[in-house]
Amino acid sequence: MRYEIENAQIFGLNFSGTRFNGKGGENRSFCLCIDDPNMLESLANEGVPIKTRQFKQDEEPCYYVVVKVKFNNEKKPPVIQLRSGKSITRMTEELLTPEFDGMRFYKCDVIVNSGRWTSPNGNTGMGVYLQNIYCYLQRNRFEEAFFDFGDEEEETPFA
């Protein structure tokens, strides 16, 4: 089933695949908070493992799923778009480095699909797989000033 989450809360970024195994690329994933009770119920009914995490002691726990990021389907790899100011970059498998995992986003819109998986040893289960994600990079005030080129051309003093 397909799920669309606008302004999603994500954490535990491992788009590079290096966070837990150090090799890179093999187990790309991230965690996606699910705050819609209907979506949560639908995922649970499908058999998708739902986990919980409490970020702050005085807040409600976050129910979340682990989203797998797979590039093994050449016809339809996941679409990962990064927006930084006016610049938009489509992230390829090669661009998903540990530096990307460390970025902070002020907004993410996510489309995922649930699906059945089978391991080489015959185990089966349900998982959630990334289809599209649109990430808006959070920049500090110095970055904002540094990347603000303005709309008008400036006259260079050495022309």
Token code pair at residue 54: 């409490």
Percent of the chain with pLDDT over 70: 89
Per-residue pLDDT of 22-64, as tens digits, reads: 555 568 999 999 999 999 999 999 999 999 998 888 888 899 9
pTM: 0.85
pLDDT at 43: 97
Identify the structural domains of the chain with CATH numbers, from first to last: 2-142 (2.40.50)
Rounded Cα gap, residues 112 and 46, in angstroms: 14
SS3 for 7?
coil
Tens of pLDDT, residue by residue over 70-105, are 998 777 899 999 999 889 999 999 999 999 999 999
In terms of Cα–Cα distance, which of 59, 83, 62, 61 is closest to 133? 83
Cα distance from N-terminal residue to C-terminal residue, the chain: 59
